[in-house]
Amino acid sequence: MATLIQSYEQQYSIITADITAKIGRLRTANEDERDSLHKEIQGNFEEANDLLEQLELEYRGSGAGSRVSAYRAELQRVKDEYRKVGTNPALYNIDNEEYDDWSTGNEQRQKLLDNTERLERTGKSLTEGYRVVLETEQIGAAVLQDLNSQRETIQRSRGRLRETDEQLNRSTRLLKTMMMRALQERFVLGIVFLVLVALIGLAVYLSVT
């Protein structure tokens, strides 16, 4: 970027120096030479304006301090000098309305540059907004994925709780069954014990009698 700016500045310096030299030659040139010099100078002015436009865009893109205003002031000074040399249309065959056209053209170019800058800012704002939307979408997708993972975890936990509850129910039923069997066995043992006691008592009674 800096190398391109330096290149534009060098080209601009060469063009303005060439225009100044040609303006000096106008003072002593004959009619044919003046016509040729006028065309060359006007072409040089257009080229210089184009260079300044490119230079201003490069400065804006780089964010560095711009010297375009100083260059435009210098170019306007050269144009004024050219106007003074061409103030006698009969002598130099110059249409002074062209200078007003240049001034109007510069204003139009400045407006175009300002509009371009606004469009660039709008484009950057839209790009930034689109980036924010994409980031928000990504965050939302990540949150949804996390919620889905948590839901699956909760569902698995509920499944394990149901399995644990079923196992507890089976264990409770098993314990109840074991307790009933233990009570039944105790009842049977009690009856057997009573029968044995009765038989022993009967045997003792019979042995005594």
Give me the domains of the chain, ranges plus CATH numbers: 2-139 (1.20.58.400)
63 vs 2: CA distance, rounded Å: 11
Give me the pLDDT at residue 204, please: 84
Does 77 score more than 80 pLDDT?
A: yes
Give me the pLDDT at residue 88, please: 43
Give me the pLDDT at residue 3, please: 76
Query: Do the Cβ atoms of 12 and 67 come closer than 8 Å?
Result: no
17 vs 71: CA distance, rounded Å: 13
Residue 16 token pair? 């303005």
Is pTM beyond 0.75 here? no
Query: Do the Cβ atoms of 62 and 2 come closer than 8 Å?
Result: yes
The pLDDT of 152-175, averaged and rounded, is 88
2 vs 64: CA distance, rounded Å: 9
